[in-house]
Amino acid sequence: MWTKISLFKKSIFTLISLSLFIIGCNSPKLEYTIETTLNPNNISPLTATLQINTDKPCSVHVKVLGDIPVEQSIEDFKTATTVSVLGLYPNKLNKVEVTLDFDGGQQVDIIEIQTQELPDYFPSVKVDKLEKESMEPGMHALDIHFANFGKFRSAPIIFDDQGNIRWYLDFSFHGAMLGPFQKIKNGNILVTGRRTIYEFDMMGKQMDKTLIDNNYGIHHDVLELPNGDLLLCVGTRDAYIEIDGKTILSDSDFMIHYDRKQSKVVKKWDLAKHLDVSRDDLNFFRGGDWLHMNALEFDPRDSTIIVSGRNQGLLKVSWDDKLKWIMSPKQHWGKSGRKGNGYETKSYLLTAVNNEGVPYAKDIQTGHKSAKDFDFPWGPHAPYLLPNGNIIVFDNGPFRNYNNENNYSRAVEYEINETNKTFKQVWQYGKNRGIELFSSIVSDVDFLAETKNILMTSGFVSPKNIHRAKIVEVSPEDNSEVFEATIFFKNTNKGKKRGWGQTDILYRSERMQLQN
């Protein structure tokens, strides 16, 4: 278990003669008190609240001072205001500037807030490249999970452009992995356990908690729909597949639509209905994990869902549960269904074409070779629908071309022609960097709306036993890197039992504003 950082120190700061007044000589003075509570919700050690009481209505602006300030404002004029402070530096006596604007003047005060050091298992962060003028605004959010002898302990982290950790949430109270960490439309944080859906604000206040039907186990991804409902990757307790005359318990092969207003599951998709569960070209780790679904993307244009299955590829399914296409090497695809008695899947496989629309040779279509300007996504994660209708995805690259020799990962963009059942590669980044960005598991890719840059996250990079993650923001116009950071993990449990929960992982990263 974690050692909780639980600080509820309170201090009263009253008006003193050294306060700075920015008011006219004849302006009335302001009487006020400021009460500070550090870590107000007991899971957010680098946040605080200020309770400000004044004898005249005021608006409030606070700024955490430092090389990279973090600011929050309350524009309403009140005599009693609670304002959030985010972005405190760890293990430091932070100086926070408080500006009070009132009818007749302005007053500025400096208060001090002492924080404790970070947990000793947190990673170190090195910023390798920073071109601020070309970057997407915001700080750098990590959906990170720490080795805990098979269980994982989760603590989403945000660091600034200097590599300083300025925010995190301590999820040790849950006792197991929580994720993926993401900010939803209302500005709150959403995370899930196997059966629990949590919603927090950025101060760590729990806004909602829901338990789903215990027949389902949530894993890998939860997606907020346009109406606020959720799509979730799940496994079920009673799902089996038949392979070679054997009945095997399967996992990670259902999606559910969860209605948040009604707090219930209203729709379910069985992915085994549409795929060949016996296909084991990349699935030779555990038989029941034939698909290993790890991400979902919703296409609002036609209410379809793009699914990433690490062991099979990408597929698209309609809202009324019809298979649209499969993006995967054309090898060993047979009948769909849990017993292999469904329909033939081969006709749903997309054909890879070059820029002139000409299909590649057979050995490229089957995945035995890669073209200079094309390859399939191998062991993919995190498909993302671009504004132009194309798809970007993190191509992890394990066992590329059915061997373990071409070890590179990349972000890649595909254009799909659903009418002709063809697709072509239009952009990629990462191949030329080889092993230094190779992540055989987890990882992420995002489109950044303001700059139109691409954010690539290699979440599990381990050459020469230096276990780390890499985050790269790249301009797709010329593939130039405008930001890059290395996350150096501390927990690898070397020489001990290996496997899930035994080694730190960075599942995803996001560019995110640090504000409540």
Task: Identify the pLDDT of residue 496.
Answer: 54
User: Which backbone phi and psi does 407 adopt, to 5 degrees?
Assistant: -90, 95
- Residue type at 495? G
Could you tell me if residue 124 is left (phi over 0), alpha (psi between -120 and 50 degrees) or otherwise beta? beta
pLDDT-derived band of residue 206, with 50, 70 and 90 as boundaries? very high
Would you say residue 372 has pLDDT above 90? yes
Helix (H, G, I), strand (E, B) or coil at 436: helix
Q: Check pLDDT > 50 for residue 2.
A: no
What residue type is 175 in one-letter code?
G
Percentage above 70 pLDDT, the chain: 92
Does one domain contain both 69 and 149?
no
Q: What whole-number distance in Å separates Cα of residue 50 and Cα of residue 100? A: 13
pLDDT tens by residue, 321-336:
999 999 999 999 999 9
Give the separation between CA 351 and CA 444, rounded to whole angstroms.
25
Q: Over the chain, what is the mean pLDDT? A: 92
Task: Please report whether residue 119 resides in a domain.
Answer: no
Mean pLDDT computed over 129-144:
98
52 located within any domain = yes
Residue 13 makes CB contacts below 8 A (sequence gap 6+) with 33, 34, 35, 36, 109, 111
pLDDT at residue 282, as a whole number:
82
Nearest to 224 by CA among 193, 283, 255, 183: 183
- How many residues can be counted in the chain? 516
Q: What is the pLDDT of residues 51-65, one digit of tens each?
A: 999 999 999 999 999
Q: Is residue 4 part of a domain?
A: no
357 domain-assigned: yes
Tokens 């009418």 — which residue? 419
Identify whether residues 282 and 160 lie together within a single domain.
yes
Q: Given this model, what pLDDT does residue 430 score?
A: 98
Q: Residue 5 falls within a domain, yes or no? A: no
3 within some domain: no
**259 domain residue, yes or no:** yes
Amino acid, single-letter form, for residue 136: E
- Report the CATH number at residue 42: 2.60.40.10
Mean pLDDT for the stretch of residues 434-443:
96
Q: What is the pLDDT of residue 19?
A: 37
CB 376 within 8 A of CB 327: yes
CB-count burial class (<10 Å; 0-12, 13-18, 19+) for 134: middle
Q: Are residues 18 and 150 in the same domain?
A: no
| Domain match, 101 and 153 both | no
Amino acid in the structure at residue 416: I
Q: What local confidence, expressed as pLDDT, does residue 151 receive?
A: 83
Q: Within this chain, do residues 206 and 283 fall inside the same structural domain, yes or no?
A: yes
- Count of the separate structural domains present in the chain: 2
Q: Provide CB contacts within 8 A for 175, sequence distance 6+.
A: 1, 151
Task: Indicate whether 176 and 313 sit together in one domain.
Answer: yes
- Identify the CATH number of the domain in which residue 386 sits: 2.120.10.80
> Is 393 part of any domain?
yes
At 387-433, the pLDDT tens digits run 999 999 999 999 999 998 889 999 999 999 999 999 999 999 999 99
> Which residue intervals of 272-369 are DSSP H helices?
362-365
Residues 102 and 166 in one domain: no
Same domain, 270 and 195: yes
pLDDT, one tens digit per residue, over 333-369 is: 999 999 999 999 999 999 999 999 999 999 999 999 9
Whether the per-residue pLDDT at 3 is higher than 70: the answer is no
356 with 454, same domain? Answer: yes
What confidence score (pLDDT) does residue 493 get? 61
367 neighbors 402 (Cβ within 8 angstroms): yes
Same domain flag for 87 and 195: no
The helix/strand/coil state of 416 is: strand
Cα–Cα distance between 135 and 129 in angstroms, integer? 11
Residue 491 is predicted with a pLDDT of 82
pLDDT over 80 (residue 464): no
Both 418 and 459 in a single domain?
yes
Q: How far is CA 373 from CA 245, 329, 351, 370, 431, in A?
A: 41, 16, 15, 8, 11
Per-residue model confidence (pLDDT) at position 313: 97
Instruction: For residue range 74-114, list pLDDT tens digits in order.
Output: 999 999 999 999 999 999 999 999 999 999 899 999 999 99
Sign of CA dihedral 208, 212, 217, 223: negative
Query: 372: domain range?
Result: 124-131+140-512
Q: Is the pLDDT of residue 25 over 60?
A: no
Query: Positive or negative CA dihedral for 96, 100, 106, 107?
Result: negative
Measured from the Cβ of residue 264, the count of other Cβ atoms closer than 10 Å reads 13
Which residue type, as a one-letter code, is found at position 55? D
pLDDT reported for residue 149: 78
Give DSSP secondary structure letters for 448-467: -TTT--EEEEEEEE-GGG--
Q: Are residues 321 and 232 in the same domain?
A: yes
